[in-house]
Amino acid sequence: MRQDEMWMGTLCNGQARWVAARTTHTVEEARIRHQAAPAAIAALGRLMTGTLLLGATFKNAGDITARLLSDGPLRGALAVGNRLGQVRAYAQNPQADAPPKRPGKLDVAAVVGQGEFAVSRPMDNGAYYTGTVPIISGEIAEDFAHYLLHSEQIPSAVLLGVLVETDLHVAGSGGLLLQPLPEADESTLQALEACVARLGAGISVLVAEDEDMSAYVDRCMGTLPYRVQEKTSVQFTCSCAKQKLTDVLASLGDEELANLIAQGEAEVVCHFCNERYLFSREELLKIRSAD
Ligand SMILES: [Zn+2]
């Protein structure tokens, strides 16, 4: 089993930069944790991969949050990721599904629906910048590119794909981000466009091939000359822990806490990873007395 990875670097003699990610196992882990349906995991997987790619383009290694605030059956989704390759995500309704557009082509836009796409990212001064744009396609890759152009003024091409097998497991997931730098000449822009046109919607198939990362990046780039500057491993990483959820319980009102104590125990589930934490009556009493 190949490790998920994210690589980044420059191309076309430093006139553009690129980030490529393979997230197959990470997205499969999200599918299992959330028991997500095919179209829902395709949406969630693209959102997770896009968040990683976006995180890699910013120097700050803090968490970036990408949200789909949308009205489709998924009822919105959220991914948190960073340039260290850590990512987690959830959807309000991971069981959301839709008939495929054609055999093998999941209808992600149908489960996402209409609404807004919002990204929050840390700035160097420690404050957060949040940009919100309308969802233009619901296919998510275009929505990341639209966000980058209109909210960050960074022209970019974003390709994202998740391939789900008929037995429902994630056979491939990954993405590629290309950004021409301001000094890029016309021939570089054309070369990037040709690369995107060549890959088209086939990126998930490409990722599903069991090759090493360098072969994947080679096939993404085709004839474009590129350099690798950084390599990171990618993992589904949740920051939850029993201590954090203890803080959540401690922040409840007296009445709510008394109710839980009367029930004898409390179960708290982390949205992001579906991990269940059980609090005994003794633990609940201790939380109340510490208040
Ligand atoms: Zn968690």
How far is the centre of ligand 1, averaged over its atoms, from the C-alpha of 188 (Å)?
Answer: 43
Distances in Å between the alpha carbon of 146 and those of 18, 133, 137?
Answer: 17, 8, 10
CA dist 239 and 272 (Å) reads 9
How is the chain split into domains, by residue range? 5-236, 242-290
How far is the centre of ligand 1, averaged over its atoms, from the C-alpha of 129 (Å)?
Answer: 24
Closest by CA position to 24, among listed 159, 157, 205, 167: 205
How far is the centre of ligand 1, averaged over its atoms, from the C-alpha of 34 (Å)?
Answer: 11
How far is the centre of ligand 1, averaged over its atoms, from the C-alpha of 242 (Å)?
Answer: 10
Distances in Å between the alpha carbon of 95 and those of 40, 110, 111, 131, 219?
Answer: 7, 13, 10, 28, 34
Q: What is the pLDDT of residue 16?
A: 97
Residues in CB range of 233: below 8 A, 6 or more apart: 3, 4, 5, 6, 85
Q: What is the mean pLDDT of each run of 10 residues along the chain (291 residues)?
A: 91 96 96 97 98 94 96 97 97 95 89 97 91 96 96 95 93 96 94 92 81 92 95 94 87 90 91 92 90 60
How far is the centre of ligand 1, averaged over its atoms, from the C-alpha of 251 (Å)?
Answer: 18
How far is the centre of ligand 1, averaged over its atoms, from the C-alpha of 247 (Å)?
Answer: 14
Which residues have CB less than 5 Å away from ligand 1 (the ion)? 238, 240, 270, 272-273, 275
Q: What is the pLDDT of residue 1?
A: 63
Residues in CB range of 53: below 8 A, 6 or more apart: 6, 19, 21, 144, 158, 160, 175, 176, 177
Q: What is the pLDDT of residue 207?
A: 84
Is the Cβ–Cβ distance between 262 and 41 less than 8 Å? no
* Fold classification of 5-236 (topology level): Hsp33 domain (3.55.30)
Superfamily for the 242-290 domain: HSP33 redox switch-like (3.90.1280.10)
How far is the centre of ligand 1, averaged over its atoms, from the C-alpha of 59 (Å)?
Answer: 26
How far is the centre of ligand 1, averaged over its atoms, from the C-alpha of 252 (Å)?
Answer: 19
Three-state secondary-structure class, residue 275: coil
How far is the centre of ligand 1, averaged over its atoms, from the C-alpha of 148 (Å)?
Answer: 28
| Global confidence as pTM | 0.93
